[in-house]
Chains A and B, each alone.
Chain A
């Protein structure tokens, strides 16, 4: 490794330190082999499809049904996680109570637990002999092997994304604004809706968005509890898998590519919306 003369390069920030060729070389090699090439594989396969074929695959009854199931269940799961994510984040930041550290750590469990394990655990809880299923089935509520099972599995796997996106914003909340609102005679409800909630919107938006994206792509946890009936409880990821097993690569790629496109558009949208919100908040204050 040559010993650079740092003074001759002092005007270019960052270029004085050695190791750029090696570190960038390793990075680019890895990114090309592991991320870029596989993604271009999908693009290559999709490019071989004519638009008519793509349209035919995507508008087939079964594909549409699987997309409806996936998007609908993901939306419901996201709604649940938006509400409970906000509640959990609030309780964990603002209150001190016995078991807080444990709850805080357990929020990440769905992230750490392999999805297949989550899947069999949930189905064993909610089927008719399970602890929860036993109570619900006599009341006429079936969860396992139905649409609701898919929603429950998605709520489980995407919960950490909702909580962890909102939590830092609550930690950074401006206490002065709350106190000022109080001295001005605002009720607690007013303080929450007019002072606290607007400051949390970027976090809630990110949390809800990530939770939705995660739910769209979830596979392991869902397939055990879903029942996997075509047209009814078959999610899009499973349909990709089925087309793959049939060696129907074009159909698998068309559905997978569309899902990927949807996720990326959503993430981009979240980013743009977040920037806009932050700008407005800064102008407001």
Chain B
């Protein structure tokens, strides 16, 4: 290798160390700065535990719906020709381009108490914003492109010959889905589901607009981090942040593993369009 290569590699390492690795290390450093006992007290504080639970519950509700939507949308777009097909794909990818605050505002304007849908539901005592429903709705919005973007290219590449063969052999639609299509798209689906879950767990901007931020009730973990930080409980904020950081690192490891074991499934990085 030439000297120039070492300089380029060294610069890359230095940039990543300062910009990415150092922030991560500092989160754990600050969280444990007052010792293990304080860390544990912070993590096991009822409000933080409630936030962890709410965040997990949100992800558990968002994920299955996302899988159903993602597979259905990818299947419809890949296998049929219908009017507005490209527009549909553009719409599904829109959330990637929209600022989270703008997204939250959009939901407030339509589903909030003053919005057309929200005010129509109000007489029935149904409130959609400033509670768990609001959090779930915006989480659907920010996560919905991920599975479609992973599954669609795989469906396009595999083609429909196997599915048509199954059809001529007498399989019905559900059998085709279960025995032919799902095995083909499995790893792309898992890959997309991991990205979507990571996003659902960590969404901050959009959720902070619609959650109402009621302590112990509608505080997701990222909101809890902000609240603790603004309450001058930095150590508590960093303790809560370690949980989210760990989840992000697990996401990266899972992704790397899937890419390693099933290279053909790695069509997109989450950040790539």
CA distance A213 to B99 in the complex (A): 9
- The size class of the interface chain A forms with chain B is 35 or more
Question: Is B106 a contact of A38 with CB atoms below 8 Å?
Answer: yes
Binds A, one of B3-11, B37-45, B184-192: B3-11
Across-interface contacts of A264 in B (CB, < 8 A): 97
CA distance A253 to B114 in the complex (A): 14
Q: Mark contacts of B105-139 with chain A using CB atoms, 8 A cut-off: 1 yes-contact digit, 0 otherwise.
A: 11111110011110000000000000000000100
A19 contacts the other chain (CB 8 A): yes
Question: Is A45 a contact of B109 with CB atoms below 8 Å?
Answer: yes
Report A1-36 residues with CB < 8 Å from chain B CB. 1, 3-4, 6, 12-20, 22-24, 26-28, 30-31, 34-36
Known contacts: A14-B80, A42-B109, A101-B256. The answer to whether A217 contacts B99 by CB under 8 A is yes
A276 contacts the other chain (CB 8 A): no
Closest chain B residue to A18, Cβ basis: B173
CA distance A35 to B209 in the complex (A): 17
Question: Is B20 a contact of A156 with CB atoms below 8 Å?
Answer: yes
Across-interface contacts of A120 in B (CB, < 8 A): 27, 225, 229, 234, 237-238, 241
Question: Is B15 a contact of A41 with CB atoms below 8 Å?
Answer: no
Question: Is A19 a contact of B177 with CB atoms below 8 Å?
Answer: yes
Point out the residue from A19, A34, A45, A97 that lies within 8 Å of B75, measured CB to CB.
A19
Question: Is A103 a contact of B13 with CB atoms below 8 Å?
Answer: yes
Question: Is B97 a contact of A115 with CB atoms below 8 Å?
Answer: no
Known contacts: A6-B167, A220-B205. The answer to whether A38 contacts B9 by CB under 8 A is no
CA distance A244 to B105 in the complex (A): 8
Question: Is A117 a contact of B76 with CB atoms below 8 Å?
Answer: no
A111 contacts the other chain (CB 8 A): yes
Known contacts: A1-B173, A14-B79, A35-B144. The answer to whether A113 contacts B245 by CB under 8 A is yes
CA distance A40 to B102 in the complex (A): 13
A230 contacts the other chain (CB 8 A): no
Across-interface contacts of B102 in A (CB, < 8 A): 42, 217, 237, 240, 256, 259-260
Question: Is B229 a contact of A224 with CB atoms below 8 Å?
Answer: yes
Question: Is A112 a contact of B248 with CB atoms below 8 Å?
Answer: yes
Across-interface contacts of A40 in B (CB, < 8 A): 110
Question: Is A95 a contact of B5 with CB atoms below 8 Å?
Answer: yes
Across-interface contacts of B19 in A (CB, < 8 A): 155-156, 159
Q: Mark contacts of A225-269 with chain B using CB atoms, 8 A cut-off: 1 yes-contact digit, 0 otherwise.
A: 000000000000110110010000100110010011001100100
Which of A45, A108, A155, A238 counts the most B-chain CB atoms under 10 A from its CB? A108
CA distance A108 to B160 in the complex (A): 33
Question: Is A125 a contact of B111 with CB atoms below 8 Å?
Answer: no
CA distance A210 to B78 in the complex (A): 25
Question: Is A108 a contact of B244 with CB atoms below 8 Å?
Answer: no
Distance in angstroms from B242 CB to nearest chain A CB is 9
Report B2-52 residues with CB < 8 Å from chain A CB. 5, 8-9, 11-13, 15-16, 18-24, 26-27, 30
Which of B9, B105, B229, B241 counts the most A-chain CB atoms under 10 A from its CB? B105
Distance in angstroms from A152 CB to nearest chain B CB is 8
Across-interface contacts of B208 in A (CB, < 8 A): 241
Known pairs A117-B202, A156-B23 / 12 extra A-B pairs, C-beta < 8 Å: A14-B81, A15-B80, A19-B79, A22-B173, A37-B111, A84-B15, A112-B251, A114-B244, A121-B26, A210-B271, A249-B114, A263-B99
Q: Ordered nearest first, which 5 A-B pairs have the shortest CB separation?
A: A217-B99, A114-B202, A41-B110, A160-B271, A38-B106
Q: List 30 A-B contacts (CB under 8 A).
A: A1-B172, A17-B160, A17-B176, A19-B176, A22-B72, A27-B69, A27-B77, A30-B140, A31-B73, A34-B140, A40-B110, A42-B105, A42-B106, A84-B15, A95-B1, A111-B271, A113-B24, A114-B244, A114-B248, A117-B222, A117-B248, A125-B26, A161-B271, A217-B98, A217-B100, A219-B205, A220-B205, A253-B105, A260-B98, A263-B98
